[in-house]
Amino acid sequence: MKNKRLFVRMLAGTVGLGVLTTFILAGIVSCAGYDAFGAKPSNSRLAQIEHSPQWHDGQFVNPQPQWQNGLGAWRDFLFGDSVKGAVPEEPVPTVKPNPALLSSPSQSGLRVTWFGHSSLLVQLADKNILIDPLWGKRFSPISFAGPAPWYPPGIELKDLPPVDAVLISHDHYDHLDYATVMALKSGATRFIVPPGVGAHLESWGIAENRIIELDWWQSVALGEVTITATPARHKSGRFFGQANKTLWAGYALSSTKNRVWYSGDTGFHNDLATIGERLGPFDLTLIDAGQYDANWPDTHLGPELAVLAHRLVRGKKMMPVHWGLIQEARHPWTEPAERVIAAARCQKVSVLIPRPGESIEPSLTAATERWWPHQRWHSAKEHPVIATENGDPDRRVVAPTCSSI
């Protein structure tokens, strides 16, 4: 009887999900939201990506397959208890960026401003580089559904210093924001993206000569700054039929004085130590540490493996990103920061967590003050998130253990 009731609930949930999907699709078409879908690579662009070492049988694939507990994820989504503290109950403490400060040279040659999630301004040497910028009002193809930010960036794009380049890690809506791209359309800013993502940009009117596609380990020089795409373990796609037709990547940024590594969205993978050997050490790492779930442990690092990744790439100071702006997973919104701090204490890693909108120079910033509220969160022992080694749930990554986490 119990199993029968569960079946009925799941069937009802599936039917309801189908109705919801139909409603959303109708809304997308009626609102002309399909523009945000972008375009599949074709013609010369498709011919180019077919030569990528990551391209197999008509799509990009991870060298280490990903595993997910699809049934468990749907069960939690449809029938799981609500997560207390998943969204802020009070306004998130933010800093209004100072345009005059951002337009002035940094003292150390490296200044970083975090706008929440993975949206960043990296000012390295004399270059102003936006990473996965989010200036839109909803990170979705439609205006009435999908993740909406808890607060605005605090500064208009036009008030930033001239942006030399925009780095896009992959084409998911919370990293490639249509509204932000359109706001940057009229300028001369270059877009540095993984293979295939350029097709989206071209369909939105970005000139081909402003788009640079980098496969893993490929580099481009912007004056004194060199940008290298690095491997990641993730996936891509903006609509049905687009899954994994574009690649995903992280980026290493280096000048004569400083080096920064941005992980992009990624699960734990075997190339992390190689990134450190070939491109490190890094003065600062910007690492995917939020929006994780035990049902899909290979999609995002999670806090503990983010700290381990920082060590493997030979980072000096770590800034956790991919948290603090929107809800995409079933954990309290402050939990990534708490668990990163606990794991960093265990692994003797220096962590910087600036307030959204706050600018820091890593070499001149010994520590940052706690700004997020105290609330209940789950430790790594309570809710472990441990990646698989090669897509097999019975073989997991061995992560450092510590009684405090």
Q: What is the pLDDT of residues 41-94, one digit of tens each?
A: 988 899 999 999 999 999 999 999 999 998 887 787 777 778 999 999 999 999
Strand partners, 259: 254
- As a whole number, mean pLDDT of residues 120-143 equals 95
How many angstroms separate the CA atoms of 103 and 106, rounded?
9
Q: Which residues contact 388 (CB under 8 A, 6 or more apart)?
A: 66, 67, 297, 298, 395, 396, 397
Q: Which residue has the higher pLDDT, 1 or 281?
A: 281
Structural domain range at position 124: 99-364
Does some domain include residue 186?
yes
The predicted pLDDT at position 74 comes to 77
End-to-end C-alpha distance for the chain, whole angstroms: 40
Does some domain include residue 372?
no
Q: What is the pLDDT of residues 132-163, one digit of tens each?
A: 999 999 999 887 888 999 999 999 999 999 99
**Which among 372, 355, 383 is positioned nearest to 88, based on CA atoms?**
372
Q: Beta-strand (E) ranges in 7-86?
A: 55-56, 59-60
Does some domain include residue 47?
no
- Residue owning tokens 């820091």: 360
Q: What is the pLDDT of residues 330-363, one digit of tens each?
A: 999 999 999 999 999 999 999 999 999 999 999 9
The answer for 243, left when phi > 0, alpha when psi is -120 to 50, beta otherwise, is: beta
Contact 253, 226 (CB under 8 A): yes
Does some domain include residue 275?
yes
Q: Give the three-state DSSP class for 25.
A: helix
Number of domains making up the chain: 1
**Cα angle value 80/85/89 (rounded, 5°):** 135
Q: Which residues contact 68 (CB under 8 A, 6 or more apart)?
A: 295, 296, 297, 298, 299
> Going edge to edge, which strands form the sheet with 120-124?
211-213, 190-193, 165-167, 127-131, 120-124, 110-114, 359-360
Does some domain include residue 21?
no
**Continuous segment of H or E residues that includes residue 404:** none
Does some domain include residue 190?
yes
Q: Give the three-state DSSP class for 10.
A: helix
Does some domain include residue 7?
no
Sign of the Cα torsion 388, 399, 259, 352 reads positive
Report the CATH number that the domain containing residue 256 is assigned in CATH.
3.60.15.10
Angle between helices 2-30 and 70-79 (to 10 degrees): 80
**Which among 171, 326, 169 is positioned nearest to 238, based on CA atoms?**
171
Does some domain include residue 204?
yes
Alpha helices in 82-144, H assignment, sequence order: 99-103
How many angstroms separate the CA atoms of 101 and 92, rounded?
23
**C-alpha 127, offset from chain centre:** 22
Provide the whole-model pTM.
0.91
Which of 41-55, 65-79, 219-233, 383-397 has the lowest average pLDDT?
Answer: 65-79
- Residue owning tokens 């780095």: 167
